A and B are shown apart, each in its own frame.
Chain A
Amino acid sequence: MSQLNVAIDTVGVADATPDEKQPWAELGLKEDEYQRIREILGRRPTQSELAMYSIMWSEHCSYKSSRVHLRQFGEKNPKTPRLLAGIGENAGVVAIDENIAVTFKVESHNHPSYVEPKQGAATGVGGIIRDIIAMGARPIAVMDSLRFGAIDHPDTARVLPGVVDGIGHYGNCVGLPNIGGETYFDACYQGNPLVNALSVGVMPRSRLQSMQASGVGNTVILMGAKTGRDGIGGVSVLASATFSETGEGDARPSVQVGDPFTEKLLIEVCLELFDEGLVVGVQDLGGAGLTCALSETAAAGDGGMHVDLERVPLRAKGMEPQDILASESQERMLLIVDPAKAEEVLARSHRWGLLATEIGTVTDTGRLVVDFHGQTVVDVPPKSLADEGPVYHRPIAEPNDLGLIAVDRAETLPRPTTDEEIRQTVLDMAASPNLCDKSWITEQYDSSVFGNTVLGTPHDAGVVRLDERTGVGIAISLDGNGRFARLDPYVGAQLSLAEAYRNVAVTGATPIAISDCLNFGSPEDPHVMWQFERAVTGIADGAQKLGIPVTGGNVSFYNQTGRDAIHPTPVIGVLGVIDDVARRIPLGLGKTGDTIALIGT
């Protein structure tokens, strides 16, 4: 047995030491939240439990500030028989025809990409790909929507190349074509660049997977990379509170490094297991690691779960149970498997050179129990972590400068009048970083792997063939405009939705579904909360008008430095279906003599 810290904080210890001071505030919990945890458990939480609650009740995992507004999507979404899985799942799933379905989602990895641009962006791509796998789909393409500060700011020279390198490196190595995206520069993103990544996958409808840990006696398997100390920065206060640290200064990095090769193996192994019907439930390990995967699968299932944490293969020495639970190591998936099939699951992953380990069992206790070397360190109702987190009704107030902005109208700007001025305006626009050619970026991305990319950059939307025999395919566009949303978040969000919708439609595809990534400042600022509420309402109303549902998305708050928030930046992905990709309409002018018409208003 590896050396066990005698000071390990078990449920028994917690019972015996109710008055132990705990660093809940340092972990981002509020006093009343901490008291609620004590009520739920009927005692003080152990260190591991405290770590789990602080993670699951964070803004990122619990959507505590956004939840009341996001409900609108469910309420206003048009009903469509195409929708096979919607909001609340890892990613929304829509039917293409009687046989196939696609799943797609856009997610942010903004702050990590500022701290360490290459790895932050790379792991963002990796994370969204695992969401797609978890639904049962083969990922078939990625897209990226990027916002940076001023192009000539020295820090942009650090962030931009790293982000592009990370997205390219991860997508290229894992073998997914990049079929489009956006790149904008604005000083408001200087300290808060936005890195939003979208992935789309395809599956036979019968292969749709669930995240339920159901079936008492079923085995819980952790598959993929070893668990290291990646990204446990916050939780490290627990350790330093009880024993002094001796190790090197770099012992607790907050940065995760991605390994696209392992991710590629995860894709192949998972799909093989799904096709063979070897999996009961599956969940990817994302930002909140095992904590999130264990509590969500257990909460979605019908009973409880028992886990022996010391079985988790570790990359670092001396990890405490709360470290293992909080680790954000990449390229891991959790599988729920019939014990009679466990051996075959392990064999199939080993054949690909992928680690897979039985770490627990599904139980009927209604509790998530985690033991570490035989001592119980977690014993909680899983729903209290996954579904019963705090919900806030944050105050909302219209920004004071809205009137000021409204009177500063484009019509008041000087117009070019002479030929020379018009010429100069055209040149200025062509040279503007937001309009100029982006091939410096896009040619660092593979666009043709899989041999199904029918349209990629520089077209209005990416078009991918799904089935070689029928020619059926999909089109996707990803669009956002923070400047419009700053002027009027309701209309601005709708403009982005309309732009993505149009970009899909002009390829010849019929739009059928929406995914969104909502990038905003701090929810504790009532002005930001107002922007958020307006943007969500705009999207929900727009989706209703257009007759296509919002199937999922992601909220990124706290994109702000001091009191300065970024422009509210809802980024919208629209997915369309095209019966025969051979009939797609590319960008550009046709032949000499063709008529040019302008339609619309």
Chain B
Amino acid sequence: MSARVGVVTFPGSLDDRDAARAVRLAGGEPVGLWHDDAALGRVDAVFLPGGFSYGDALRCGAIARFSQVMDTVKAAAAQGMPVLGVCNGFQVLCESHLLPGALVRNAHLRYRNRPARLRVETTRTAWTRLYEPGSEVVFPAKHGEGRYVADEAVLDQLEADGRVVFRYLDNPNGSMRDIAGVTNEAGNVVGLMPHPEHAVDELTGPSNDGLGIVASVLAHLTGAADTSGVSR
């Protein structure tokens, strides 16, 4: 039986269908989760997709943090359940304090849509274990508020702990230290701005490099060849 990956739909989520497709193409079983439901319905991992949850009017992810589903996701993450946040999902994870730092307006002040070249900085997370360390991937980056910021001390700590997961090779938004994605201490919660779910098929995306994200979590969940430092 393939692993069940929950994909959350908030009002205003846009990439939920794409996230479900990526899960399916990588061999998992996508399960729709509704923002107002507290129950996670026996899922093995959670994918928070991109979009503009609740309109994202005030600050991206600020309102989604208070949804029913996020209470449950927080508790499950603390128990080690793999959680991925992409774009708005990453913003929600930061606003919910599941990940450090914040995502603010791009330094050039515009929404920008470009394929982003990224370096996989660590494979010691539930969502990156099948990548080659240091390898290069291309995911579309498209956002107006994706500049990663945090205190210098926090950034130093992230670097020291090896918790920077993806780094931009051509920083598109002014993120501090070119950070595109980070993980929590346990390595089960990962957030990134660029969209792996839009890089699953060369017909519709710049690459199929994104399949490795879901493939990694599936491998993590089945415990195959546990070379990662991530505990379940």
Q: Is B57 an interface residue (CB 8 A)?
A: yes
Q: List 28 A-B contacts (CB under 8 A).
A: A169-B111, A172-B144, A173-B52, A175-B15, A175-B51, A261-B11, A261-B52, A261-B56, A262-B55, A264-B52, A268-B11, A351-B36, A443-B114, A444-B113, A447-B113, A448-B140, A448-B195, A448-B198, A448-B204, A449-B14, A450-B17, A450-B18, A451-B18, A451-B21, A451-B198, A451-B205, A454-B203, A468-B21
Q: Enumerate the 9 nearest inter-chain pairs by beta-carbon distance, A residue then B residue, closest first.
A: A261-B55, A175-B14, A451-B18, A448-B198, A173-B52, A443-B113, A444-B111, A446-B142, A261-B12
Q: Are B204 and A465 in contact (CB under 8 A)?
A: yes
CA distance A390 to B112 in the complex (A): 47
Interfacial residues, chain B to chain A (CB-CB below 8 A): 11-12, 14-15, 17-18, 21, 36, 50-52, 54-57, 110-114, 140, 142, 144, 195, 197-198, 200-201, 203-205
Q: A252-268: which have CB < 8 Å to B?
A: 259-262, 264-265, 268
Whether A18 is near chain B, meaning CB under 8 Å from some CB there, is no
B52 cross-chain contacts in A, Cβ below 8 A: 172-173, 175, 260-261, 264
Chain A: which residue is nearest B198 at the CB level? A448
Q: Is A352 positioned at the interface, with any CB of B under 8 Å from its CB? A: yes
- Flag if B110 contacts A451 (CB, 8 Å): no
A342-381 toward B: CB 8 Å interface, digit per residue (1/0)? Answer: 0000000001110000000000000000000000000000
Which residues of B sit under 8 angstroms from A183, Cβ to Cβ? Answer: none
* Pick from A352, A449, A450, A581: contact of B203, CB under 8 Å: A581
Nearest A residue to B36 via CB reads A351
Q: A453: which B residues are within 8 A, CB to CB?
A: 204
Q: Which of A168, A446, A447, A582 has the most CB of B within 10 A?
A: A446
Instruction: Write out the residue numbers on chain B whose beta carbons fall within 8 Å of the beta carbon of A451.
Output: 17-18, 21, 197-198, 200-201, 204-205
Closest to B19 in A: A451
Q: Is the CB of B112 within 8 A of A443?
A: yes
How far apart sit A454 and B204, CA to CA, in the bound complex (Å)? 5
* 8 Å CB contact of B12 from A264, A351, A445, A465: A264
Please give, as numbers and ranges, the residues of chain A lying within 8 Å of B140 by CB-CB distance. Answer: 448
Give A258-288 as 1s and 0s: 1 = Cβ < 8 Å from B's Cβ atoms.
0111101100100000000000000000000
Asked if residues A452 and B11 are in contact (CB atoms below 8 Å), the reply is: no
> In whole Å, how far is A164's beta carbon from the nearest beta carbon of chain B?
9
Q: Which residues on A sit within 8 Å (CB–CB) of B197? A: 451
B57 / chain A contacts, CB cutoff of 8 Å: 261
Contact B142 A582 (CB under 8 A): no
A447 to B204, CA, bound (A): 10
Residue contact B12 to A446, C-beta cutoff 8 Å: no
**Is B112's CB under 8 angstroms from A444's CB?**
yes
Q: Are B110 and A452 in contact (CB under 8 A)?
A: no
Considering only CB atoms, which chain B residue lies closest to A352 in the complex? B11
In the complex, residue of chain A having the shortest beta-carbon distance to the beta carbon of B16: A175
Further pairs besides A169-B111, A449-B198: 8, Cβ < 8 Å: A260-B52, A261-B12, A446-B142, A448-B195, A449-B18, A451-B201, A581-B203, A582-B203
Question: Closest Cβ of chain B: how far from A191's Cβ, in Å?
Answer: 27
A448 to B205, CA, bound (A): 7
Contact A446 B17 (CB under 8 A): no
A449: chain B residues within 8 A (beta carbon): 14-15, 18, 50, 198
Near B by CB (< 8 A), chain A positions 441-489 give 443-454, 465, 468
The docked-state distance in angstroms from the alpha carbon of A71 to that of B15 is 42
Tell me which residues across on chain A come within 8 A of B12, comparing CB atoms. Answer: 173, 261, 264-265
A449 shortest CB reach to chain B, Å: 5
Docked complex Cα distance between A53 and B195 (Å): 50
The reply to whether B203 and A265 form a contact with Cβ atoms under 8 Å apart is no
Residues of B within 8 A of A447 (CB): 113, 142
Please measure, in the bound complex, the distance between the C-alpha atom of A168 and the C-alpha atom of B112, giving whole angstroms. 10
